Amino acid sequence: MFRDADLLIHNALVLTLEPGAPPLIQGYVAVQGGKIAAVGQGAQAGPLLPARERLDAGGALVMPGLVNTHCHAPMVWFRGLADDLPLHQWLAEVIFPLEGGWLDPEKAYWGALLAAAEMIRGGITTVADGYFFAAEVRRAFAEAGLRAVAAQGVVDFPAPGVPDPGDNLKVAAEFLASGHGLPARLSSAIFCHSLYTCGPETLRRAKELSRSRGALFFLHLAETREEVQGLRQQTGLTPAAYLDSLGVLDEQTVAVHAVWLEAPDLDLLARRGVKVSHCPESNLKLAAGVAPLSRLLELGVPVGLGTDSAASNNNLDLWGEMSLAARLHKVWRRDPTALPAAAVVALATREGARVLGLAESVGTLSPGKEADLLLLDLAQPHLTPLYDPYSHLVYAARAADVTHVMAAGRWLLYDRQLLTLKFAVIREKIQVLSRELAPRPRKTPPPASS
Amino acid sequence: MFRDADLLIHNALVLTLEPGAPPLIQGYVAVQGGKIAAVGQGAQAGPLLPARERLDAGGALVMPGLVNTHCHAPMVWFRGLADDLPLHQWLAEVIFPLEGGWLDPEKAYWGALLAAAEMIRGGITTVADGYFFAAEVRRAFAEAGLRAVAAQGVVDFPAPGVPDPGDNLKVAAEFLASGHGLPARLSSAIFCHSLYTCGPETLRRAKELSRSRGALFFLHLAETREEVQGLRQQTGLTPAAYLDSLGVLDEQTVAVHAVWLEAPDLDLLARRGVKVSHCPESNLKLAAGVAPLSRLLELGVPVGLGTDSAASNNNLDLWGEMSLAARLHKVWRRDPTALPAAAVVALATREGARVLGLAESVGTLSPGKEADLLLLDLAQPHLTPLYDPYSHLVYAARAADVTHVMAAGRWLLYDRQLLTLKFAVIREKIQVLSRELAPRPRKTPPPASS
């Protein structure tokens, strides 16, 4: 077992998220050297184990930290700046101009700090981010103590930090080659934005680059019907078939959104071992569509949940994604038994880790894995009574119920207090600079009939 | 204006929810005799007004308390007890047997107290509840300080407190005639459960009874496709047309769910002045369907949001309903401009008040109306930066962001502390008795592919 833990969390309801494992009543988790040393249960066993630090969870729920498989952290700057618009208009008229003319490395860094604060408060311990100035994002996540895959954005037009698109892969290669001295929990990847912003040569070469570095390759795939129709007119192929013709689909590829997939596309993704990031709140808000989640799971495609950006969501809260995923696919399939609660909790933890190639190190509370976990306060009206903890996590719990968060054995949140980030400083910085974008609240309530 | 307010809330971002009114920067709200005495703005004006008690909101948002237009409060006992089942199986195999054999007046009372605690913590100040033992529910809400319409449930089979269904209208009539001495913010109504649990004579007589008392009449209408198909086979009519043939549809009727409506049904509801309660989280969780919300609003039908019960939702949180309503109808209509944020906030406040016939007294922060309001803490990562408060309320805010809640000029929640209810006592009571229903957590996570 273990000799002398650094930390023992006891008197908890522990969900290990190991497949088939029952909830551990009066459970405990021991942490040693940043890793999980032991997990078990018993009213006597826990308190008696030797440990330098003890935390009586007081009946709180302990589970693996959440894994956010898709984010664009610096876009917190644009949270609520322009809502209720179609994706392409929103990108072309609001987001791309601001990214090109306003964002700079410092703003990307501060935005990523704010995003990290929000994610930690909501129990996220691992995030995969895709954006420009990815080295700044990676630096912010390193400071925040998060586990992260930071991916450098690639598009075939001028982008933040890449004024000449001819340099897009050079910048990406430099990013992949950098980051020496950062903790091992930070890794680097490539994020080709989409098929409508990256040409075939860019896609092929970006994938070659990530392969050569053993890095993940992210891409927004078949997010809207317009994207699929546009590509079909150009090439006669669906987005998945087109990517396959470029040799881009493999087990190191994460297809984000994956909404408008036909049956052969689904089979193709499954055959190639492609992973999927499902972002239902963003997909609904942009009216993009509803991804065939149940079919993907039936085919054995690993799927994780993603928040997407605060500009399109507008939060970085995986509890909302869980609640929505569980509900949405029931009504979409006209089957109230679709996506049961426990399966959805698995998507936000164990399966998310699989999507990011981190299944060996995080996603479940298993001895030998990294100590990435959260505590959730069950002593609240909306979580009372308690029959089934998975049900509560999906259908009733919220980000604010998370009280403690640990990544790699280090507390990031303790008793709802951020330990690695100074939110007051971050907020002041963001508030002052965001005035450049919009000086004051703009909208008024429309009449009742609107 | 006013002479000497009981309370002055100042230094707030005030949303009055009056149609067309802009957000009030450095706003204030004065309360006198349980009513709103004044609303305005100005960094100097607010602090200088005379008032016996002052609350510096510190930049928090102040808005009308939320209006929950549909709930079954005592069903908190069944929260998470049985999920992921079809509506009719869930009702027949789980809910109806427990209601018949297990619930009693005391449990209904304690359940309603727990529901009240959850709703107050989430900023709800007015709730319309439909259940059995309605006098117990009404008593609990009175103690909690909520504004409420408590409706006595009516079905044509044995029900909690009504072992002989032949007594169902007698019990309802006695309930309507009772309640003397309760504050004016408590009113009473009739809730005929549905067309598949109430025959035509019951519906007709229940509506006559509520008309004779000037009481609202609630009914689950066209919640599932099966309900519509079943009635059509029996009568050849849609549920709305059938109810109209019984003379039940009028301005005092609240149709709950209203999912499976055809064009003539929509016109009929609009013509009769029927109100609608929209409960999207419950509708999705039970895979019932998606209500034609945009069409109802286009036709001028007053629509409010409802949580439905904690057994089918599984929370009593209108922030989740707002977030889901805004997103769901965008994807359903394939129109990202559908249901903009400000319109959704109106549904949860002003329009909800209209649905319950309370538009004269609550739903906006207007001088002369009842002082029902909430404060929401904007100084949080997920609400930073701030460009548009309506966007944040719908797409990013959560129940836990509410810090203060007032109804009829009385604080129910202050600095996140419940003032009228002792949650620890309620929780203990619920925890002990709920063990009779299920002794321990039951589910284990299924394999990844499930």
CB contact under 8 A, A121 and B381: yes
**Of B83, B114, B323, which is closest to A381 when you measure between CB atoms?**
B114
Which two tokens mark A345? Answer: 């909790």
Burial of B45 (0-12, 13-18, 19+ CB in 10 A): middle
Please count the CA atoms within 13 angstroms of the CA of A63 that sit on its side-chain side. 29
* Positions in chain B short of pLDDT 50: 439-450
CB contact under 8 A, A387 and B442: yes
Instruction: Check residue A367 and give left, alpha or beta (phi > 0: left; psi -120 to 50: alpha).
Output: beta
Q: How many CB pairs under 8 A join A and B?
A: 333
* pLDDT score for B94: 86
On chain B, the residues whose CB falls within 8 A of the CB of A23 are: 441, 444
Q: Secondary structure of A79-117 in the HEC alphabet?
A: CCCCCCCCHHHHHHHHHHHHHHHCCCHHHHHHHHHHHHH
Chain A contact probe: residue of B84, B275, B442 with most A CBs at under 10 A: B84
Which residues have C-beta within 8 Å of that of residue B430, sequence separation ≥ 6? A384, A385, B76, B77, B110, B111, B114
Question: Which residue from B minimizes the CA distance to A297?
Answer: B449
Q: State ipTM.
A: 0.95
Closest CA of chain B from A435, distance in Å: 9
Give me the torsion for CA of B61, B64, B70, B76, rounded to 10°. Answer: 50
Question: Would you kindly state where each structural domain of chain B is located, as residue ranges?
Answer: 5-64+367-423, 66-355
Question: Which residue from B minimizes the CA distance to A397?
Answer: B315
* pLDDT score for A284: 96
Q: Residue A447: which of B319, B422, B317, B297 has the closest Cα? A: B297
The dihedral through the CA atoms of B386, B121, B180, B151 has a sign that is positive
Backbone angles phi, psi at A300, to 5 degrees: 85, 10
On chain B, the residues whose CB falls within 8 A of the CB of A343 are: 445-446, 450
* pLDDT score for A1: 55
* pLDDT score for A86: 79
* pLDDT score for B2: 62
* pLDDT score for B358: 98
* pLDDT score for B50: 86
Burial of A323 (0-12, 13-18, 19+ CB in 10 A): buried
Which residues have C-beta within 8 Å of that of residue B421, sequence separation ≥ 6? B113, B116, B117, B120, B143, B144
CB B394 within 8 A of CB B61: no
* pLDDT score for B1: 55
CB contact under 8 A, B392 and A80: yes
Q: Residue B394: which of B351, B361, B345, B346 has the closest Cα? A: B345
CB contact under 8 A, B287 and A330: yes
Q: Residue B288: which of B90, B145, B442, B10 has the closest Cα? A: B90
* pLDDT score for A85: 84
Closest CA of chain B from A307, distance in Å: 12
CB atoms within 10 A of CB A275: 27
CATH topology of domain A5-64+367-423: Urease, subunit C; domain 1 (2.30.40)
pTM for the model: 0.95
CATH class entry, domain B66-355: alpha beta
| DSSP tag of A370 | B
On chain A, the residues whose CB falls within 8 A of the CB of B426 are: 381, 384
Chain B contact probe: residue of A331, A335, A345 with most B CBs at under 10 A: A331
Question: Which residue from B minimizes the CA distance to A296?
Answer: B449
- The one-digit pLDDT tens for each residue of chain A (450 residues) are 567 899 999 999 999 999 999 999 999 999 999 999 999 998 777 667 889 999 999 999 999 999 999 999 999 999 999 888 877 888 888 888 888 889 999 999 999 999 999 999 999 999 999 999 999 999 999 999 999 999 999 999 999 999 999 999 999 999 999 989 999 999 999 999 999 999 999 999 999 999 999 999 999 999 999 999 999 999 999 999 999 999 999 999 999 999 999 999 999 999 999 999 999 999 999 999 999 999 999 999 999 999 999 999 999 999 999 999 999 999 999 999 999 999 999 999 999 999 999 999 999 999 999 999 999 999 999 999 999 999 999 999 999 999 999 999 999 999 999 999 999 999 999 999 999 987 444 444 444 433
Closest CA of chain B from A204, distance in Å: 31
Closest CA of chain A from B39, distance in Å: 16
* pLDDT score for B46: 67
| DSSP per-residue letters across A191-202 | EEEETTTS-HHH
* pLDDT score for A8: 96
**Of A289, A315, A440, which is closest to B396 when you measure between CB atoms?**
A315
CB B285 within 8 A of CB B257: no
Question: Which residue from A minimizes the CA distance to B433?
Answer: A385
* pLDDT score for B194: 97
Q: What per-residue string of b and e applies to A180-214 under the rule 16 or more CB within 10 Å gives b?
A: eebeebbbbbbbbbbbbbbeeebbbbbbebbbeee
Inter-axis angle of helices A318-333 and B318-333, nearest 10: 50
Chain B contact probe: residue of A295, A317, A388 with most B CBs at under 10 A: A388
